Amino acid sequence: MAILSDVPGLRVEVHVAGSALKEYDDDETPPPKTVTKYIEAVSGAEFVIKYFFDRPFPTTYGVEAQIYVDGKRVGVDLNQAANLLVARAKVWEGGRVFVNGESFRSKFRFSDVKIDDDSADLEQLSEGHGVGAVGTIRVAFIHFVRQKESPLQDNHAGYKRPRERNTFSEKELKGQSVTHYSSMIPTKKTKERATRANYTVDYTEAGKAPFATIKFKYRSLQALKSMYIVPRTPSPVPLEERPAAELSPAELVELVNRMRKRDSEAAAAEKVKKEAQANVHVKRERDADDDDEVTFVSKHSKNERKVPQKDDFVIELD
């Protein structure tokens, strides 16, 4: 859970499928009154943002919670001082869209960022939507003294749904490990009135400066490992190097089979070696037998006179 030591009792979590995502520390030094955590983003997973006020959180003032996703403010909650410790969790599931006087809720979902350096739409998309906040969830908490109700207003009058951006260039990213953005999934119609009361607040002497900010950077598991935020999966220790007492029955059987295979291969290799040595020995013996018959060739000097021998045929010349 993301907490600030200076603000005991306040915590923020990001949930997927009913469970809080595991958080990892950010090694960068955060701004004052801010804590930053990394979380894993799984493509297509819907997520909700939950924040809690638990004892000993002070109830002197009311608390305004401003929720930002990818740098865009998606909601504001006003929590009266008397009600801070009443509800177990404050939940923000998505954004609201008003169409023709009817309210629709959209849920948050992790979606893949696309890289396209040749997209003609990039320049238009970049206006007012830099990449610095993409892949982030931020909740800022501000103290207020009192809440005031203003006249009714049309919530969808002049409303323009923000354009989602999912494509960036390598130049924009500048080496940042941004892998996901948050898309909004239109889900169901709500009973919320399109025309409702508008509320304003009187802030404390600190004004609109947050007394606490909780920030999450969401990335793919592969990116978290490449950044060494999440430890890389260690290479498994070979069965031969592990203590026998720690091996399961299946691992013991596997180890025995490996040893038998290794011994069989070693025996086969030794047999081939011996056969090769035997063939070399036989060849040497045959070569030695061939040396028993030796022919000597006599060489005479060119000027040496040869004396006739018995049985030689002699021709006499006049």
For 118-138, the pLDDT digits (tens) are: 654 444 444 444 567 889 999
Scan for tokens 């849920």, then name that residue: 107
At 195 the pLDDT is 52
pTM score: 0.67
- 56 preceded by a cis bond (ω within 30 of 0): yes
User: What is the distance of C-alpha 24 from the center of its chain?
Assistant: 12
Q: pLDDT truncated to tens, each residue of the chain (318 aa)? A: 678 888 999 999 999 999 999 999 998 888 899 999 999 999 999 999 999 999 999 999 999 999 999 888 888 889 999 999 987 789 988 877 666 666 777 889 999 888 766 654 444 444 444 567 889 999 999 999 988 776 555 544 434 445 566 676 666 666 667 888 888 776 666 666 555 556 788 898 888 999 999 999 999 999 999 888 888 777 677 877 778 888 888 888 888 888 888 888 888 888 888 888 777 666 666 565 555 555 555 555 555 556 666 666 556 655
Question: In sequence order, what are the beta bridge partners of 150?
Answer: 198
| Backbone φ and ψ of 97, nearest 5° | -130, 130
Q: Which of 88, 85, 65 has its CA nearest to residue 141?
A: 65
Dig out the tokens for 314 from the structure: 């002699």
Pairwise CA distance, residues 78 & 142, whole Å? 10
Pairwise CA distance, residues 2 & 216, whole Å? 9
Q: Would you tell me how many other CB atoms lie within 10 Å of the CB of residue 278?
A: 10
Q: Would you tell me how many other CB atoms lie within 10 Å of the CB of residue 214?
A: 27
Q: Name every residue whose Cβ is closer than 8 Å to that of residue 182 and which is 6 or more positions away in sequence.
A: 69, 70, 108, 109, 110, 111, 137
Half-sphere exposure of 184 (CA within 13 A, CB side): 19
Angle at 312 between CA 308 and CA 318, to 5 degrees: 70
Q: Name every residue whose Cβ is closer than 8 Å to that of residue 240 and which is 6 or more positions away in sequence.
A: 255, 258
